[in-house]
Structure 1
Amino acid sequence: MSVFAKFENLIGRILVPIAEKIDKQPHLSAVKKGMVVLTPILLLGSMAYPLKALKNVFSDSVAVQEWFANNVYLIDLLIKFSLGFIAIYTVIAIAYFLSEGYKIYTVGAIALSLFAFLIMTTSVNTDGSLDVKFFDSKGLFTAIFISIACVEIYRFFTKHKLVIRMPEGVPDFVSSSFELITPTAFIAILFLTLRYFIADVTGGLLLPEIVMDVLAPVVGSLDNLFVVWFVIMLRLLFWFFGIHSAVLSPILSPIFVQYLSENIAAKQIAAELPHFVTGGTFSAFVNFTGSGVTLGLVIAMMIAKTQRYRKVGQVSLVPSLFGINEPVLFGAPIILNPILFIPFVLGGSLIGLFPLALMKYGFLAKPFFDPPYLPLFFEGYLTGFDWKTPFVQMIQIVASFCVYYPFFRIMDKQEMAREAQLKAEKEKKSVFSKKDEELLDELGLDF
């Protein structure tokens, strides 16, 4: 057995089962789905700064300047009710998906989760107004934990029949409402007690402040280039063995959401942006033309000497321009192909890390916008509106070709040998068939 085959077997025994468990774990699945649902809200919040920039674009227009002077608060509201309430939307999304997976009353689960979140995160100011500063990204991880806890409590009460059951004939919505009475009372007592205990022990702190302090090393770790490089390689390693890299999204997505929110907040006050990595930079740069930055391989296949690879390259080109590289992942193939392991995992991770390193050290604008999937260069430019971005991504394309081409030549030569062998066998069969026909003619036989 070859070294690669042994390595493949080892990964199959260790990595694949872990990935399958993560993907099927109900809490992580709910978090992953919940973060995906937040995409439109994050997109709206990210659009605030480009909208404000229109004031400078139309600086000569009196009408535009007057509109901004009178109505800029509308853009500020867009920020406040999108990114400023992102923790609230997180509670709703995760409670919904987790309760739906458990087949329990989703509206009740959402209501209980929101109720508990409000207890643990809000406080009353001296003037009687509510302090909702933890409704934004600072309360994001608290929202995740509370929504999971509340759904599990509600599930426990329904599973063990610790709810008020109404007689048959009562409408379902009435019966479901009465079932919420006992879990609601329990959650109110539990979280009010927890809040009192936390405040008493910590001198008045709220749960989000403690959660952020505890998770600070984990959340802050992605501001390190070596940690980001490890994460990129891990994602590509999953892909190489046929496992979708989305299995890591329950861990990464909440951090990306928080980073984006903090960058946008810094942009609004003209402060230095604190983070170089967000979901947008992963999509636009790390996954540029697809995971592993595979456009260089597509170009190499389009100029291949074998017909098979030329066809795969032609089919893969247009999807690659939109960041979709499944045709080349499965068509080349890259997955489980020992020849392409080094350029895909190691080369692809370094090429994807390159723009992030430029952002880290100030050579490229840090991101404050997570654009939707857009064709070549547009998505990368929109993350930070930096004119240098297309040139950086051109370097990525050239580097991708240089990394993949030497390894692909090995594959192309192997395919040439295989095609030559098939052609020889076909010609050999053709010669034998011709001799058989001549022999039959000599014998006077006609079939």
Structure 2
Amino acid sequence: MSVNGKWFIKFQSIIDKTLVPIANKIDNQPHLNSLKKGMVVLTPVLLLGSFAAIFPSIPQFIKIDAVANWFENNGYIFDIISKVTLGLVGLYAVFAISYFLSERYKLYTIGSMLLSAIAFLILAVNIDEDGSLITTYLDSKGLFTGIFVALISVEIYRYFSKHKLVIRMPEGVPDFVSRSFELITPTAAIGVLFILLRFICDKLTGGVLLPQVIMNALAPAIGSADSLIIIYFILVLRLTFWFFGIHSSVLSPILSPIAVQYLSENIAAYQAGEPLTHVMTNGTLSAFTNFTGSGVTIGLVIAMLLSKSQRYKKVGAVALVPSLFGINEPVLFGVPIILNPILLIPFIFGGALVGEIPLICMRIGLLDYPIFDPPYVPVFMEGFLTNFDWRSPLIQIVQIICSVSLYYPFFKILEKQELEKETLKPKENTNIISEEDKKLLGELDF
């Protein structure tokens, strides 16, 4: 065994003992799993809110008086849509996360969602002099508060249910009635707890709401997540998970809330005519950093299509169309990339760098910032829809060129090894029957 082979086996052993168990625990942990699922549920809300923010800009591109007049007279429609989607994204997150966590615990899901919403509104809503509700923190600014509240509220409900601190109705009472009475004691406990928390926060901060306090506390961490260096580290970590056969979604509980907040802030800035500041959203992660799939593997696909090896040529042909939709499992498992020491460097470190090229272009002013998380569409269209910048597809072409340059020399090593297998001299195979051929011969009926 070569020195390089021994080094890789030792490295794989270290990863198996450290990274893999951590990833499995994250993926199976109830709170993080519920958070991941809850963030995914917000996708249609963000899509609709993004559309509402973009549509009022149509008169800037279509110079027709009738179109401009229609938007001037009916623009409030899009403002309403924006307010009930992006303006309430924190509240929707509370509903979604509490639903999945209560489902995991086999609790009364509707009741859990109701309890969590009450707790969140106690902390996030204020009242003006006229007695009207001020809902400033029901949007992305209250997202992290909503996450904490949803998890804590469901845990309180679970505690009361587990220790039989709920009102049990006699048998024969309809289930929906029994369930409603079951909520009385945890509702009282949650009400008292969060009103007390609100009171303490008001006294300590002079009336600053808890969502703002949490945002101030998390500001350094959240702000640093938009740094190109931090994003590169995140991409390397995601690709490392993939390389060892672990789905990168294990990082979603950490990344998704931040990406949702960044997108919401970009949209708000866009609507207000202010400069956009964030480059890391779910849209950019999908359209650019994962262009044609994790590790930007389109270069490897192209290299395989041009290969002299029949096996790799077939894998490339199978992988091409899925790659154009951002799916590269045929490459990951067909080449394979996973656990392939030859492709470790280009896939993890090179793939992260090529994936970050569009984000670098945004920072230096060569590409507009993201304002939309596109639905499932082909790669070039997805890139354009992320920021509605005609330069996005051009930058993605640059990514393709860089990807080919990155993967080609490493692929040639794989190709050479494969060709040596494919071009074995006939005499070396004389009187050798493979196990597969033996099985086939045994099944033939003469």
- Both proteins in one fold, TM over 0.5: yes
Relative to 1, partners in 2 of residues 1:423 and 1:150: Cα closer, same or farther, differing over 3 Å? farther
Report what 2:195 is aligned to.
Answer: 192
Q: Which amino acid aligns with 1:52?
A: P
Report what 2:234 is aligned to.
Answer: 231
TM-score (norm 2): 0.94
Report what 1:14 is aligned to.
Answer: 18
Q: Following the alignment from structure 2 to structure 1, what is the Cα–Cα distance between the partners of residues 256 and 148?
A: 15
Report what 2:129 is aligned to.
Answer: 126
Q: Encode CA deviations 1:138-187: one digit per residue, 9 max, x unaligned.
A: 00000000000000000000000000010000000000000000000111
Q: Encode CA deviations 1:33-57: one digit per residue, 9 max, x unaligned.
A: 0000000110111112331122233
Q: Which amino acid aligns with 1:307?
A: Q
Q: Encode CA deviations 1:17-46: one digit per residue, 9 max, x unaligned.
A: 000000000000000000000001101111
Determine whether 1:37 maps to 2:41: yes
Report what 1:105 is aligned to.
Answer: 108
Three-state SS of the structure 1 residue aligned to 2:75 is: helix
Q: Which amino acid aligns with 1:51?
A: F
Give structure 1 stretches of 5+ with no counterpart. 432-447
User: In angstroms, what is the RMSD of aligned CA positions?
Assistant: 1.3
Q: Following the alignment from structure 1 to structure 2, what is the Cα–Cα distance between the partners of residues 371 and 105?
A: 34
Tell me whether 197-206 or 320-329 shows the greater mean CA deviation: 197-206
Q: Encode CA deviations 1:220-245: one digit per residue, 9 max, x unaligned.
A: 11121110000000000000000000
Q: Following the alignment from structure 2 to structure 1, what is the Cα–Cα distance between the partners of residues 423 and 14?
A: 35
Pick from 142, 145, 148: which aligns with 2:148? 145
Determine whether 1:395 maps to 2:398: yes
Q: Which amino acid aligns with 2:210?
A: L
Q: Which amino acid aligns with 1:182?
A: T
The correspondence of residues 266-305 of structure 1 with structure 2, limited to 5 A, is 266-305=269-308
Report what 1:356 is aligned to.
Answer: 359
Q: Encode CA deviations 1:79-130: one digit per residue, 9 max, x unaligned.
A: 1111000001000000000000000000110000000001011111011111
Report what 1:323 is aligned to.
Answer: 326
Pick from 59, 68, 71: which aligns with 1:55? 59
Pick from 428, 431, 435: which aligns with 1:429? 431
Relative to 1, partners in 2 of residues 1:74 and 1:171: Cα closer, same or farther, differing over 3 Å? same
Relative to 1, partners in 2 of residues 1:341 and 1:149: Cα closer, same or farther, differing over 3 Å? same
Report deviation, 1:430: 8.3
The correspondence of residues 341-352 of structure 1 with structure 2, limited to 5 A, is 341-352=344-355
Q: Following the alignment from structure 2 to structure 1, what is the Cα–Cα distance between the partners of residues 353 and 195?
A: 49
- Residues 140 and 261 in structure 2, CA contact (< 8 A), matched pair in contact too: yes
Q: Encode CA deviations 1:193-241: one digit per residue, 9 max, x unaligned.
A: 1111111111111110111011111111112111000000000000000
Q: What percent identity do the matched residue pairs reach?
A: 59
Relative to 1, partners in 2 of residues 1:422 and 1:286: Cα closer, same or farther, differing over 3 Å? farther
Three-state SS of the structure 2 residue aligned to 1:193 is: helix
Tell me whether 122-131 or 251-260 shows the greater mean CA deviation: 122-131
Q: Following the alignment from structure 1 to structure 2, what is the Cα–Cα distance between the partners of residues 87 and 231?
A: 25
Determine whether 1:87 maps to 2:106: no
Q: Following the alignment from structure 1 to structure 2, what is the Cα–Cα distance between the partners of residues 306 and 338?
A: 20
Report deviation, 1:423: 4.7
Tell me whether 22-31 or 375-384 shows the greater mean CA deviation: 375-384
Q: Following the alignment from structure 1 to structure 2, what is the Cα–Cα distance between the partners of residues 334 and 128?
A: 61
Three-state SS of the structure 2 residue aligned to 1:81 is: helix
Give structure 2 stretches of 5+ with no counterpart. 434-446
Q: Following the alignment from structure 1 to structure 2, what is the Cα–Cα distance between the partners of residues 223 and 423?
A: 58
TM-score (norm 1): 0.94
